[in-house]
Amino acid sequence: MRSFAMALDLVDDPVRIAEYDAHHRQVWPEVLSGLRSIGITRMRIYRCGTRLFMAFEAPEGFDPDRDYQGYAEDPRCRAWDALMRSYQQQVPAASGNAWWTPMTLVFDLESS
């Protein structure tokens, strides 16, 4: 398994942030199935203010740029993705079309 870490920002609106959090307390079943179908075995999203941090595990060879949006081939997953993007914006360090921006590993206790 490989671990990935990515960042994204939410629109700075307390009402919208509360809605986003509420959606994630009741993620649509198709989204859960879709994420599992592309090989994601574990995913966590943390929030601090408007900043989101997503950590997930996927099989060796998984490429987020190539594989992640595969879950959105399902129409319900595509609708979820569009809905979530209405709450989100790229982080300032984002480059190109990347929505969730990959983060660089700077320390790993297990490797030290």
- How many other β-carbons are positioned within 10 Å of the β-carbon of residue 76? 14
Q: CB of 57 within 8 A of CB of 2?
A: yes
pLDDT for residue 87 = 98
Q: What is the pLDDT of residues 7-22, one digit of tens each?
A: 999 999 999 999 999 9
pLDDT for residue 95 = 84
Q: What is the pLDDT of residues 66-84, one digit of tens each?
A: 999 999 999 999 999 999 9
Q: Which domains does the chain have, with CATH numbers?
A: 2-106 (3.30.70.1090)
Say if residue 96's pLDDT is above 80. no
Q: From CA 48, how far away is CA 30, in angstroms rounded?
A: 27
Q: From CA 23, how far away is CA 81, in angstroms rounded?
A: 12
Question: Chain-wide mean pLDDT for the chain?
Answer: 95
pLDDT for residue 24 = 98
